[in-house]
């Protein structure tokens, strides 16, 4: 089927939005008028520990699954590792100064579990706690909200050796870790995110194997989803037990699922994929139940479900974090894919209304952010939403005179923020936006080949940071609380 036909048929799931684009009533990124955001809207940036810190052998840090994976030949582009990355372990003051200069109001960073508990269990490592205390105090001094994520994919290797996310004990280890962090920081950190993209780290880590720990076992993947969902709720309760006033949420990667054709079979496959991608985690957290997907008589065994799990899974998140980048193209796959009943094949980073690709090859679909927010609101209702990630790989090199004209990034941001504003007008209670990313960093299996930062990092010359044009553009958005 040709792209033109796909566009015409309007198959996007879930919201009743036409695929062919917003109505003329709505703001478009090409309008001249400024798009103003609600008062108090929180403008932020995001990073993650393994992607920026480096210092992997310092301060008593233990090994994580990403140290192991990135040091395994053939697993990352060019054999890149996070050993040094942006050296933020030493340069965090520079990062705070940059954010202050740009006027950033909220910094979403992550805490490296193996800095806190080098083997994933036992007492806290004081040097690790001190590092994050200093970072948090520095942010508060700069007037920036510290917004830590407890788990952004760097599982202590010792826990993987003990079975990893498919092992139910990992959910209890998460409880202890969350307690430690709450005792250390819950007097000064008021917004916490527990897991980053539980769908990605379970699926890519245990099913397709493209990310750490690189296992390819569909049944282990299914178990890992349940254990991670339990861990999410455990950490929520642990943080609240120490300070009931803190706000706790989690960051979910959500994406529109587009059938590859208008056949009944492909449409049904897209509905199944949507249940797995968008509902399997968030619905479990909010309701204690899973969407109807696996064979009913096998589900408990496939997940390792125990009596009482419904109550264990369910917590009233204070906010829901949503990461949005692109969409999925989905086919029916009659011969199956290793997951009972799922019978799909899916390709990441595709949209029938793509306006181009990022340097990473991801289809750019700005109305998709509005569409997915409306789709997820069917589940989240009035719970506040924070965009915890959105951004683009734009690898435009520095110009001869040192400026970096990342015009595609600015265009991407302008279009997505305009559509985000449209979603707010639709009634989706979005209160914050975190741009991925503050600085170029270790892009997982893609190593340093993809640059997501509004600040360029020269990895060959002392991790020198240079704001790109988009950084100045974003600073103005923050100042004006509006997209011009």
Single out the residue of 95, 160, 309, 389 in contact with ligand FCB (rule: CB under 6 A).
389
Cα(66)–Cα(77) distance, integer angstroms: 14
Measured from the CB atom, the residue of 436 and 473 that comes closer to ligand FCB is: 436
411 interacts with ligand FCB by CB under 6 A: no
Single out the residue of 125, 200, 358, 418 in contact with ligand FCB (rule: CB under 6 A).
200
221 interacts with ligand FCB by CB under 6 A: no
**Contacting ligand FCB within 423-482 (CB under 6 A):** 436, 443-444, 452
Measured from the CB atom, the residue of 48 and 98 that comes closer to ligand FCB is: 48
Measured from the CB atom, the residue of 240 and 416 that comes closer to ligand FCB is: 416
Q: Which stretch binds ligand FCB (CB under 6 A): 130-138, 193-201, 263-271, 299-307?
A: 193-201
253 interacts with ligand FCB by CB under 6 A: yes
Please report how the helices 169-185 and 126-141 are oriented relative to each other, as an axis angle in degrees rounded to 10.
50
Q: Which stretch binds ligand FCB (CB under 6 A): 53-61, 62-70, 192-200, 226-234?
A: 192-200
Measured from the CB atom, the residue of 12 and 251 that comes closer to ligand FCB is: 251
Give least dist CB 277 to ligand FCB, A.
Answer: 13
193 interacts with ligand FCB by CB under 6 A: no
Q: What is the per-residue burial (b if ≥16 Cβ within 10 Å, else e) of 378-404?
A: ebbeebbbbbbbbbbbbebeeeeeeeb
Measured from the CB atom, the residue of 92 and 444 that comes closer to ligand FCB is: 444
151 interacts with ligand FCB by CB under 6 A: no
Give least dist CB 8 to ligand FCB, A.
Answer: 31
Residues carrying an active site annotation: 197, 389
Give least dist CB 349 to ligand FCB, A.
Answer: 11
Q: Which stretch binds ligand FCB (CB under 6 A): 21-29, 194-202, 210-218, 235-243?
A: 194-202
DSSP-derived letter for residue 64 is: B
Measured from the CB atom, the residue of 110 and 463 that comes closer to ligand FCB is: 110
Measured from the CB atom, the residue of 389 and 419 that comes closer to ligand FCB is: 389
The site string for ligand FCB over 320-349 (x = CB under 6 A, - otherwise) reads: ---x--------------------------
3-state secondary structure the chain: CCHHHHHHHCCCCCCCCCCCCCCCCCCCCCCCCCEECCCCCEEEEECCHHHHCCCCCCCCCCCEHHHHHHCCCCCCHHHCCCCCCCCHHHHHHHHHHHHHHHCCCEEEEECCHHHHCCCCCCCCCHHHHHHHHHHHHHHHHCCCEEEEEEECCCCEHHHHHCCCCCCCHHHHHHHHHHHHHHHHHCCCCCEEEEEECHHHHHHHHHHCCCCCCCCCCHHHHHHHHHHHHHHHHHHHHHHHHHCCCCEEEEEEECCCEEECCCCHHHHHHHHHHHHHHHHCCHHHHHHCCCCCCCCCCCHHHHHCCCCCHHHHHCCCCCCEEEECCCCEEEEECCCCCCCCCCCEEEEECCCCCCCCECCCCCECCCHHHHHHHHHHHHHHCCCCEEEEECCCCCCCCCCCCCCCCCHHHHHHHHHHHHHHHHHHHCCCCEEEEEEECCECCCCHHHCCCCCCCCEEEECCCCCEEEECHHHHHHHHHHHHCEEC
Give least dist CB 195 to ligand FCB, A.
Answer: 10
Give least dist CB 452 to ligand FCB, A.
Answer: 5
Give least dist CB 48 to ligand FCB, A.
Answer: 5
Single out the residue of 197, 363, 365, 440 in contact with ligand FCB (rule: CB under 6 A).
197
**Contacting ligand FCB within 43-72 (CB under 6 A):** 48, 51
How big is the site for ligand FCB, counted in residues (CB under 6 A)?
A: 12
The site string for ligand FCB over 29-48 (x = CB under 6 A, - otherwise) reads: -------------------x
The candidate with the shortest Cα–Cα distance to 173, out of 104, 122, 135, is: 122
Give least dist CB 482 to ligand FCB, A.
Answer: 26
Judged by the rule CB under 6 A, the positions of this chain that interact with ligand FCB are 48, 51, 196-197, 200, 253, 323, 389, 436, 443-444, 452
């Amino acid at each position: 089927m040709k792209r033109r036909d796909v566009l015409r048929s309007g198959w996007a799931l879930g919201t009743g939005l036409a695929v062919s684009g917003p109505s003329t009533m709505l703001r478009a990124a090409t309008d001249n008028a400024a798009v103003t955001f609600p008062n108090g809207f929180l403008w932020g940036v995001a990073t993650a520990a393994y992607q920026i810190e480096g210092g992997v052998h310092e301060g008593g840090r233990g090994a994580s699954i990403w140290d192991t994976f990135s040091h395994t030949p053939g697993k990352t582009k060019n054999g890149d590792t996070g050993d040094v990355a942006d050296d933020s372990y030493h340069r965090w003051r520079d990062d705070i100064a940059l954010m202050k200069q740009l006027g950033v109001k909220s910094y979403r960073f992550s805490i490296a579990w193996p800095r806190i508990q080098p083997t994933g269990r036992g007492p806290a490592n004081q040097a690790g706690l001190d590092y994050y205390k200093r970072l948090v105090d520095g942010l508060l001094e700069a007037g920036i909200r510290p917004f830590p994520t407890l788990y952004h994919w760097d599982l202590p290797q010792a826990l993987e050796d003990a079975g990893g996310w498919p092992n139910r004990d990992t959910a209890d280890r998460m409880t202890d870790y969350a307690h430690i962090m709450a005792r250390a920081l819950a007097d000064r950190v008021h917004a916490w995110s527990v897991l980053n993209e539980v769908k990605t780290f379970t699926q890519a880590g245990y099913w397709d194997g493209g990310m750490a720990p690189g296992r390819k076992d569909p049944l282990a993947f299914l178990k890992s989803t349940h254990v991670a969902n339990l861990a999410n709720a455990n950490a929520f309760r642990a943080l609240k037990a120490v300070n009931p006033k803190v706000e706790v949420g989690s960051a979910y990667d959500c994406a529109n699922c587009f059938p590859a054709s208008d056949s009944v079979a492909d449409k049904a496959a897209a509905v199944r994929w949507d249940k797995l991608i968008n509902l399997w985690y968030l619905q479990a957290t909010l309701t204690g139940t899973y969407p109807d997907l696996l064979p009913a008589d096998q589900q408990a065994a496939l997940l390792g479900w125990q009596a009482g799990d419904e109550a264990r899974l369910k917590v009233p998140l204070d906010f829901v974090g949503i990461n949005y980048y692109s969409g999925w193209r989905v086919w029916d796959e009659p011969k199956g894919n290793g997951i009972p009943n799922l019978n799909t094949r899916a390709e990441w980073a595709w949209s029938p209304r793509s306006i181009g690709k990022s340097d990473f090859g991801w289809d750019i679909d700005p109305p998709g952010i509005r569409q997915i927010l409306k789709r997820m609101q069917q589940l989240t209702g009035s719970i506040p939403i924070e965009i915890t990630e959105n951004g683009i790989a734009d690898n435009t090199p520095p110009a001869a005179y040192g400026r970096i004209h990342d015009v595609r990034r600015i265009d991407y941001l302008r279009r997505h923020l305009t559509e985000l504003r449209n979603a707010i007008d639709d009634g989706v209670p979005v209160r914050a936006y975190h741009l991925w990313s503050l600085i170029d960093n270790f892009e997982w299996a893609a190593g340093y080949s993809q640059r997501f930062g509004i600040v360029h990092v020269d990895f060959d010359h002392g991790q020198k940071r240079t704001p790109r044009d988009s950084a100045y553009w974003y600073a103005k958005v923050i100042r004006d609380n509006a997209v011009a």
